[in-house]
Structure 1
Amino acid sequence: MKTFLLIASFPDSLIKFRGALLRALVAKGLSVHVAAPDISSAASVREELVLMGIQVHEIGLQRTGTNPLADLRAVLEMQRLMRKIKPDYVLGYTIKPVIYGSIAAWLAAVPKRFALVTGLGYAFTGEASGKRGVLRQLIQRLYRFGLSRCHKVFFQNPDDQALFRDLGLLSDVVPSRVVNGSGVDVAEYPTRPFPDALSFLLIARLLGDKGVREYARAAQMVKRKHPEISFKLVGWIDDNPDAIDPQELDEWVRSGTLEFLGKLADVRPAIEESSVYVLPSYREGTPRTVLEAMAMGRPVVTTDAPGCRETVEDGVNGFLVPVQSVDGLANAMARFVESPELMGRMGQSSRQIAEDKYDVRKVNDFMLSEMGI
């Protein structure tokens, strides 16, 4: 029996983003292991994984931060784990599992080493100056070293793949493939009728780079002419240098600009109760929330940015707007207010694109084939 190890930085993502992939691996007859930090405290996640027949390991990997000693300890810990379970395949996703998991797998002589770049994050967005510029240089060097130890690298959009090649972070001898995001189970996100009252929704970690501030300012512009329209926000303030200040959020809620729904374990009710999904992000891998909204038949307003632009055919299932353009975002949302008949046609197109391009089974079949499984 072949053994597969999946390395994550956040326990909840193992079920939400990789659950279907893990089930597919088990169905293929592999012995499947997962490793993630803080997974012992995520009881529901651990229990679900065990019920799936998956073996769970906790590792001391810090999801954020740049403590070199802590990161070195994590590499050595993962190396010891791999020497113990002897995986035939290792796949890491998100920055630290990709970099340090690949290095550990190389040190442990794992036969097949893969990485999935799901997005570039804080260090690759914004101005490359000051602390962010130093961090960017460090992460690029680490990527260059870690990815050179892989047998194949997966990206979630062609822009990220091209950028890594252009920057020399991925050598010409390491093959790479683009997959259609994490996919979405279209059966679990069925189409729902639109609510009676038109409303907009953004689901995201509350970071500047997610376009949360642009969403709030555009909402203010639209509400001046259409005060009855509601703008909903789902998410949480993350431990990130780019995080929204809690006072900003409080002011948006106090002024009536945004309706804050907090962090939701299940976003389907929020999508069902909204008319149009909005994501003004500066850059993504492929945004899972957009795929979920598309599957449920919602038109999308997002940015003409890497990872985002792949999900929307402008004028077909939504609108693309320039990155950081408050005016462009407000104008796109106002088009639905002034022409609500657009929602039905564009919502149907969203669902069709989700079924044709982003069905999680198609995405996972492609990845498994590319890994030789």
Structure 2
Amino acid sequence: MKKTVFLLVASFPDSLIKFRGPLIEALREAGCQVHVAVPGLSGDSDIASRLSELGVQVHDIPLQRTGMNPVKDLSALFALRKLMRRIRADYVLGYTIKPVIYGSLAAWMAGVENRFALITGLGYAFTGEATGLRKVLRTLIQQLYRFSLSRNRLVFFQNPDDEALFRQLSLLKPAILSRVVNGSGVDVAEYTVPPLPETPSFLLIARLLGDKGVREYAQAAALVKQRFPNVMFRLVGWIDDNPDAISQVELDAWIAAGTVEFLGKLSDVRPAISESSVYVLPSYREGTPRTVLEAMAMGRAVITTDAPGCRETVVHGGNGFLVPVQDVSALAESMIKLIENHEQAAAMGARSRQMAEDKYDVHKVNAVMLKEMGLT
């Protein structure tokens, strides 16, 4: 008897293990033969071998993660269609912009019956003021979303604001079903709750992009250090190939001034979270931020923005504080509150851990997705 063939389409190899590893395991436990299609995996033997150990069949595809080159994007579309026909896919799920758009269209063209999409966030084209290149990109991506999502049976969102926006902009036709899930989830069993460090310490983990609030974090750090020079502000991440990326000059200036301690890109962020007392994410918009969930699972208070995707993770005054987007003063004030009240930071961290267990456990999230896709 032929096994159910499930194809997961991604744009970034690292995400397959870090964000989708438990989903892959859940699909295999449900009796699926799991395939993944992702660009650039042939050069990353570690991820490829780890996926093979999970029993996953890996396919390298010519998909550019960034940029809008019509010829190359069409090449990726037809490569995906060819792959889906060859492996006789029964289910296809794409996540992030290009895998959602071209994965959905290729699955429709290949006659795959069960087509799904996961909107993990809206990205550069949807954030900030729509002028110039961003306006052109926003219009193009919305048109592509509108056309491709209409080919799906169901679309998953990671927060209700994104779902409402897609409905409001008619990117999702009324006939297409949608479901909000609690982010990608986090395996709380893999995270311990270490004691808070004696000296208050803040941490931000992000791609170094403007719309992640990296500049606001550095500016707030400079303000706070005027009163509390010994408080640490650590930054984990890397400069991404993105029009909104922080420049190396900016980063070097923050480091030289002693405003932030830059730890670079880490394969395991748990030691960095362990050394922090409060996690900060001043992002302009998210799907559901994985780094916040990791910090919550490790019992850390969270300061984030009252923005889509972020506001779902924090009960203001409960497990942290919500601040307005791009409000450096409010961000600094919230930091100071937790510097001056160690007990409050600890109590908020305990609530974060409880929320991670109750709401964001990855096994609960994946169970909902498999049920909605008709696999359980």
TM-score between both structures, scaled by the size of structure 2: 0.99
Following the alignment from structure 1 to structure 2, what is the Cα–Cα distance between the partners of residues 334 and 109? Answer: 57
Q: Deviation of residue 105 (structure 1)?
A: 0.2
Find the counterpart in structure 2 of residue 103 from structure 1: 105
SS at match of 2:93: strand
Question: How far is 1:290 from its partner?
Answer: 0.1
Identity %: 68
How far did residue 181 of structure 1 move?
A: 0.2
Partner of 1:361: 363
Distance 1:108 1:288 in 2: 33
**Residue 143 of structure 2 aligns to a residue in which SS?**
helix
Q: Structure 1, residues 149-187: CA drift from partner, whole Å, max 9, x if none?
A: 100000000000000000000000000000000000001
SS in 2 for 1:310: helix
Query: For each residue in 1:25-72, what CA deviation from the matched residue of structure 2 results, as whole angstroms up to 9, or x when unmatched?
Result: 111111110000001111111001101111000000000000001000
Query: 1:237, 1:148 → 2: CA distance?
Result: 34
Unaligned runs of 5+ in 2: none
Q: Does 1:130 align with 2:132?
A: yes
How many residues were matched structurally?
Answer: 373
Partners of 1:195 and 1:227 in 2: CA distance: 16
Residue identity matched to 2:36:
V
Instruction: Tell me the amino acid that sits aligned with residue 249 of structure 1.
Output: L
Helix, strand or coil at the partner of 2:312: coil
Q: Which sections of structure 1, spanning at least 5 residues, go unmatched?
A: none
What whole-Å deviation, never above 9, does each CA across 1:183-221 have from its counterpart, x for those lacking one? 000011121111122100000000000000000000000
Q: Following TM superposition, by how much is the alpha carbon of 1:341 offset from its aligned partner in structure 2, in angstroms? A: 1.2
Alpha-carbon distance in structure 2 between the residues aligned to 1:212 and 1:344: 25
SS at match of 2:74: helix
CA distance in 2, matches of 1:193, 1:352: 16
Question: Which deviates further from its counterpart, 184-193 or 12-21?
Answer: 184-193
One-letter identity of the residue aligned with 1:170: L
Amino acid in structure 2 at the alignment position of 1:188: E
User: 1:283-362, aligned counterparts within 5 Å?
Assistant: 283-362=285-364
Per the alignment, residue 254 of structure 2 pairs with 252
Give distance in 2, aligned partners of 1:112 and 1:163: 24
Runs of 4 or more consecutive aligned structure 1 residues displaced over 2 Å after TM superposition: none
Deviation at 1:288, TM superposition (A): 0.1
TM-score, scaled relative to structure 1: 1.00
Please give the residue correspondences for 1:114-263 in structure 2 after superposition, counting only pairs within 5 Å: 114-263=116-265
The CA distance in 1 between the partners of 2:117 and 2:37, in whole Å, is 14
Deviations 1:218-265 (A, max 9, x none): 000000011010100000000000000100000000000000000000
Give the alignment's Cα RMSD to 1 decimal.
0.5
* Higher mean C-alpha deviation, range 141-150 or range 190-199: 190-199
SS in 1 for 2:211: helix
C-alpha separation in 2, matches of 1:44 and 1:331: 43
Task: Tell me the CA shift for residue 339 of structure 1.
Answer: 1.3
Question: Deviation at 1:338?
Answer: 1.3
CA distance in 1, matches of 2:43, 2:25: 22
Instruction: Please point out which of 90, 93, 99 is paired with 1:91.
Output: 93
In 2, Cα distance between the equivalents of 1:189 and 1:133? 41
